[in-house]
Amino acid sequence: MNPTVMQLTARSLLGRRRALLLLALPIVLLGLCALARVLAGFDDGLAETIDSGFATNLLGSFGIGVVMPLLGLIAGTGSIGPEIDEGSIVYLLAKPLNRYQIVVSKLVVAIGVLVVFGVLPVAVAGLVLTGSLGGITAAYALGALVAGVAYAALFLLLAVLTRNAVVIGLVYALVWESLLGGLAPGAQTLSVQQWALAVVERVLGDDAVLLGVESAVSLATGVVLLLVVALGCTAYAGRRLQSLRLTGEV
């Protein structure tokens, strides 16, 4: 990893416009949780007043199924896409830096952004809904983390491959992950959301059945596919950067 590349990437990702986009989704998630908390009342224990099934549905369908892929799209494409579009990437590539080092540096920053704006809000949402940092909260926070890593790598690669990464990624996030990934049996097996839910299901243990949490893939399959996407996309992005000509064209 290169500290200078990481610093420049963080500065770009956390610019005013992009920071507002990153804040919008967790604010909506926490707003929904706060509304549920208000409707449930404050007199009794959280776990007793808010149905656990509602918590898992909100954290799974909206937290991991909508918030994480959209944040991954913003962070993944934003970590390198603007430099490629503007042509300023040539100045970075002209330096004696390993292309894989550049990709990994940008990916680490993107993952860090997802932890702050995605994983932590999911954990806070779980705490608000259940009143506990264990159980549901810990399971979905871990699920959001593994999903975020895969999304960041996937969308970073997409930004390297095409200048239409945001549009393609938006269609993928909203249609494939948010809609088909949660409903269509065939699409579920190829959904990052379902792979992450396999991790959630394992952490919940026997409670997963009671809470209605069931992934379309086994834990082993989910973990392997998450690793394949994260490592494969990172490696291929580095390879494509090696073929990026200094004229700014792939």
> In percent, how much of the chain has pLDDT > 70?
87
Domain contains 30: yes
Domain contains 143: yes
The number of domains in the chain is 1
Q: Could you tell me the end-to-end alpha-carbon distance of the chain, in angstroms, rounded to an integer?
A: 23
Per-residue pLDDT reduced to its tens digit, 193-235 = 889 999 999 998 888 887 878 888 889 999 999 999 999 999 9
Residue 190 has pLDDT above 60, yes or no: yes
Domain contains 248: no
Domain contains 36: yes
44, 197 in Cβ contact below 8 A?
A: no
Reduce the DSSP state of residue 210 to 3 states and report it: helix
Domain contains 65: yes
The boundaries of the domain holding residue 163 are 3-242
Which residue, chain included where needed, has tokens 């549009």?
167
Query: Cβ neighbours of residue 15 under 8 Å, at least 6 residues apart?
Result: none
Domain contains 250: no
Closest Cα to residue 104, out of 244, 234, 239, 250? 234
45, 124 in Cβ contact below 8 A?
A: no
Per-residue pLDDT reduced to its tens digit, 40-90 = 655 444 444 455 777 888 888 888 888 999 999 999 888 887 777 776 777
